[in-house]
Amino acid sequence: MKQTIKVRLWRWTIISIVAFYILVPLYAMFDFSTKPFGFADKGRTFRAWQMIGEQQNLFLAVTRSLITAAIVMALILFLVVPTAIWVHLKLPLLRRPFELLCLLPLAIPAIVIVVGIAPLYRWISINLSESPITLAGVYSMLILPYTYRSLSAALDVVDVHTLAEAATTLGATISRVIFGIIMPTIKTGIINGSFIAIALVLGEFTISNILNFKTFQVVIAQIGRSNGNVAVAVSLASLLFVVFLLLIIPTKKRQGAVLDVDLA
């Protein structure tokens, strides 16, 4: 009993420390965003929050960033995930080289990546499009270390070889095995990788700023040059929006849900 109380006390201590570490900066952001703009204002004011709706460039940047995030998630779902599953199933000797390849972006500084891709994006801007949505390609490369580790951990927990052999014995094609059986089984890892993609797309600044693309973070930085209160309010609102997305995603399986493996 004493040991249980000690464990609970230790857990709540850790939770309290983490909550303090997270909530104090958020409160500081809210406090700064509600401070008076000038001498005419007295006391707290929500003018900074009201002015968010007046930032036309901001909503355009948010729309573009969300479209970019959707493209990146689609690339994860239809390219990275099937490749990782195929390597685990059919090419076990290539797991280490594939993992090293996916982790390579962590070892390359962002400024070096920009120098390397700048000529490519210069050609894309001239011949194809100047939209920030084209950054989905480089963002897909940047999230590889995080998405692959999430997928690899999910695949290591599940006995994918047994699932694949059973499905193949029953007549399932390889596409049915990957998309209809294994991917639903590792849904948690895919969702975690998707959230990482959203966080990276909405939070990346260095590459988009150097390449002169007006993404979400670049527009926030531009707003901060003229009005810091509004920039902080926008940043806090974006954090609350991400938290809202995390809360509305179901984390528990629906009771009675059955994996449909109709092979007819």
How large a percentage of the chain has pLDDT more than 90? 2
How many other C-beta atoms lie within 10 A of the C-beta of residue 25? 11
How far, in Å, CA of 17 to CA of 11, rounded? 10
Residue range 218-232: average pLDDT?
A: 81
Is residue 257's pLDDT more than 60? no
pLDDT digits (tens, 9 = 90+) for 8-17: 888 889 999 9
pLDDT in the model for residue 254: 42
- Asked if 132 and 57 touch (Cβ cutoff 8 Å), the reply is no
**pLDDT: which is higher, 41 or 233:** 233
Domain positions in the chain are 58-247
Residue range 148-159: average pLDDT?
A: 83
pLDDT digits (tens, 9 = 90+) for 102-147: 888 888 887 888 888 888 888 888 888 778 888 888 888 888 888 8
Q: Which CATH architecture has domain 58-247?
A: Orthogonal Bundle (1.10)
Is residue 251's pLDDT more than 60? no
- Asked if 25 and 179 touch (Cβ cutoff 8 Å), the reply is no
| pTM reported for the whole predicted model | 0.74
pLDDT in the model for residue 250: 53
**pLDDT: which is higher, 193 or 71:** 71
pLDDT in the model for residue 162: 85
Mean pLDDT across the chain, nearest whole number?
A: 80
pLDDT in the model for residue 241: 77
- Asked if 150 and 189 touch (Cβ cutoff 8 Å), the reply is yes
Residue range 190-207: average pLDDT?
A: 81
pLDDT in the model for residue 246: 65
pLDDT in the model for residue 17: 93
| Residue matched to tokens 């480089």 | 138
pLDDT digits (tens, 9 = 90+) for 73-82: 888 888 888 8
How far, in Å, CA of 251 to CA of 195, rounded? 13
| Residue matched to tokens 């995603």 | 249
